[in-house]
Amino acid sequence: MSKVVPVDGVIPMFKDGMHVGFSGFTPAGCPKAVPTALVDYVEKNNLQGKLRFSLFVGASSTASIENRWAQNDMIDRRWPYQTGKDIAKGINTGHIRMGDKHLSLFAQDMGYGFYTKDTPSGKLDIAVIEVSAITENCGLVLTASCGIVPEILKVCDKIILEVNTAMPSFEGMHDVIVQKAPPHREIIGITAADTRVGTTYVPCDPNKIVAIVESELPDQGRALADAEDSSVAIANHLLEFFGAEVKAGRLPKNLLPLQSGVGSIANAVVGGLATGPFYNLSVYTEVLQDGMLDLFDAGRLDSASACSLSLSETGFAHFLEKRDFYQSKIVLRPLAISNNPEVSRRLGVIAMNTPVEFDIYGHANSTLINGTRMVNGIGGSGDFLRSGFLKIMHSPSVRPSKTDPHGISCIVPHAQHIDHTEHDLDVLVTEQGLADLRGLAPRERAQCIIDKCVHPEYKPILQEYYDMAKKECLAKGVGHEPQLWDRALKMQLNLAQNGTMKVKNWDIKVDLCE
């Protein structure tokens, strides 16, 4: 009997409380027909809160689908990353249990069965995987991303395939390795961004496939804001820094493989490289944004490896128009490989990512606002910031605020949540300047960050705090990394209480520096 069914035919396969895995990474490559049919069914039959799932995806999915699922109370647990106003609201009101994890670790831990150890079968109940083709030996040719499909297929009971006929075939673009568990894990033999070591498809057990449905829904492009002046300034600081590193002999003329995070700042940095002095560049990263296509078109970029084509609608149309040109230059790999620390350390990746905030000693927060409100998740930034050759974080010095005309400072005495420690970061950049922290002791780092990165409105405030903390802590013999713990979060508290981070007076009656 044929396993090809209309999309509505798979709805009875889903039961309340199931553990479900999706393909995809960002909107690219995620299933669309089945998730949409499920939420349509819940809405039509008033089943809100009666059909809830634990949902596991490589990272975020299509925000419109995740938001509709959240609006209809269909998500019990969500790992390891998400985007969307409604799903974030569900997480922060305590209705959705969410955990984030370094993405390369999430991928391998899914394959180890860590996320399915409490299910009745010890596996995911069902997986929904978007493909552009199926080979004769049941190899799955994926679409615009790889995500954690190899790991999902290892630990799932049943598989539903969405064959997306609205997308072109991506056959030949993927390079898939299915890793074994320790102690039998193999060396990953990637020695350059364009090295191919695997297959162009993901092996699949045909006995697990319970349905094949057709999808005619294209990926929803990931909109990017236009580059602001601050983003352009950050890009210029980095280009100047790279030039100096080449001149000093610490980088080759074509730099080292670039890793760039998601967002308008990251895209502006990559865009700056398109007009910079560097040629024969390579990229080993998590997602390819529109700026990477600009680098190819400018003749600056030779090859790029990623997990996902996370393009805007315009960018994706441009990719399809010149697909033959990009085909041989882009490799899409599973998340466990694209973000693998073994590979990024071997290649000497230059890691560039954007935090929520960082502090005067170089700790960075990528996940939480006010120390408790989840934004999206840590994503893959930590994978590269712990294993790259150069570990760079870039941020505006201030972010807009409704209650302060100068905005809130992105540099504070102490980060309210720490995702990346001072031990992992080499360079911090804002539109104000670049702080090279390599080889600096903590007190030297603090002064460098204040001098180079802080907005003029906040520089005297942070300088006053640092001088006071240094004086009091050194006098007590506890001054390696001076902090006054009764005042270290005062800027954030002042924002919550008074609508501004501009602290007028750091003094208190009791000093608790120890």
Could you give the residue numbers annotated as active site?
Answer: 286
Query: In 57-201, which ranges are E strands?
Result: 75-79, 97-98, 124-131, 133-134, 139-141, 156-164
| CA 510 to mean position of chain CA atoms | 42
- Copy the structure tokens of residue 246: 């080449």
Max CA-CA distance within the chain? 81
Task: Give the C-alpha separation, 287 to 270, whole Å.
Answer: 12
Burial of 12 by CB count in 10 Å (0-12 exposed, 13-18 middle, 19+ buried)?
Answer: exposed
Q: Which of 365, 429, 457 is nearest to 231 (CA)?
A: 429
- Copy the structure tokens of residue 414: 């102490």
Give the torsion through C-alpha atoms of 203, 204, 206, 210, to 10 deg: -160
Residue 141, C-beta contacts closer than 8 angstroms, at least 6 positions apart: 131, 132, 133, 134, 135, 169, 170, 171, 174, 200, 201
Task: Give the C-alpha separation, 212 to 230, whole Å.
Answer: 48
Is 356 in contact with 366 (CB distance < 8 Å)? yes
Q: Which ranges constitute the DSSP H helices of 217-312?
A: 229-247, 264-273, 290-297
Task: Give the C-alpha separation, 156 to 160, whole Å.
Answer: 11
Is 272 in contact with 255 (CB distance < 8 Å)? no
Give the torsion through C-alpha atoms of 436, 437, 443, 446, to 10 deg: 60
Which residues are paired to 282 by β-bridges? Answer: 303
Which residues are paired to 160 by β-bridges? Answer: 128, 211
Residue 232, C-beta contacts closer than 8 angstroms, at least 6 positions apart: 268, 272
Q: Containing H/E element for 262?
A: none
Q: Which of 261, 269, 245 is nearest to 389 (CA)?
A: 245
